[in-house]
Amino acid sequence: MSDRTTGSAPRRIFIDKQSPKAFHALVQTSEAVRVTAADAGLDRTTVELINLRVSQLNGCAYCLEVHTKAALRAGESPRRLGVLAAWRDTEVFTEQERAALALAEATTDPTDADAQESAYEGARQILSEDQISAAIWVAVTINAFNRVSILSKHPVPPAHEG
């Protein structure tokens, strides 16, 4: 079906704008999760690594843009961001970050029970219970934001040259 005014395919509904109360509740959840993560001892770069890895797995371009900028502001290096998709094949991430990333992947694809158990058991060796809970909450929250952006087709603004 085409848009009657332009003849092009209709835009997706930006569900965050269409249902602002629901989106605001998600934002509030995200803010609570950010505090929970900080209180548990997960630093901002670890939180952003989780946000980015989950967004990579989900293919959410908008969230990748947002959280790459946030990670860089938090002090993350371009080098580590460049290898994040292959984090298991590098030595540039700490044990804590690796445990959090494994939990994030298991949260994003909960259908692989063996991987989920492995991630959880590995995390228990390195992270506190509060950190495990916080890492999972970060992954749950970014998964929700990914779905909002993917289903709304939130655009990534073009790069400004110059």
Nearest 5°: the CA angle 141, 94, 44 is 40
Report if residue 160 sits inside a domain: no
Report if residue 94 sits inside a domain: yes
**CA 29/CA 157 separation, integer angstroms:** 26
Cβ atoms < 10 Å from Cβ of 102 = 23
- According to DSSP, residue 7 is labeled S
Report if residue 133 sits inside a domain: yes
**CATH number of the CATH domain containing 114:** 1.20.1290.10
Mean pLDDT, rounded, for 17-27:
97
Report if residue 75 sits inside a domain: yes
Specify the pTM. 0.91
* Domain range for 43: 29-152
Report if residue 78 sits inside a domain: yes
Residue type, 94: T
pLDDT digits (tens, 9 = 90+) for 42-55: 999 999 999 999 99
Report if residue 59 sits inside a domain: yes
Report if residue 159 sits inside a domain: no
Report if residue 20 sits inside a domain: no
Q: Which of 30-34, 60-64, 78-82, 156-160 has the lowest mean pLDDT?
A: 156-160
Q: What CA–CA distances, in Å, run from 127 to 10, 54, 123, 156?
A: 47, 19, 5, 35
Count of domains for the chain: 1
% of the chain with per-residue pLDDT over 70: 93
Mean pLDDT, rounded, for 1-23:
75
User: Sign (positive/negative) of CA torsion 122, 123, 125, 129?
Assistant: negative
Q: Which pLDDT score, from 0 to 100, does residue 151 have?
A: 96
Pull the structure tokens for residue 75: 């002090």
pLDDT digits (tens, 9 = 90+) for 113-126: 999 999 999 999 99
Grade residue 7 by pLDDT with cuts at 50, 70 and 90.
low
Question: Are 40 and 91 within 8 A, CB to CB?
Answer: no
Q: Which pLDDT score, from 0 to 100, does residue 161 have?
A: 54
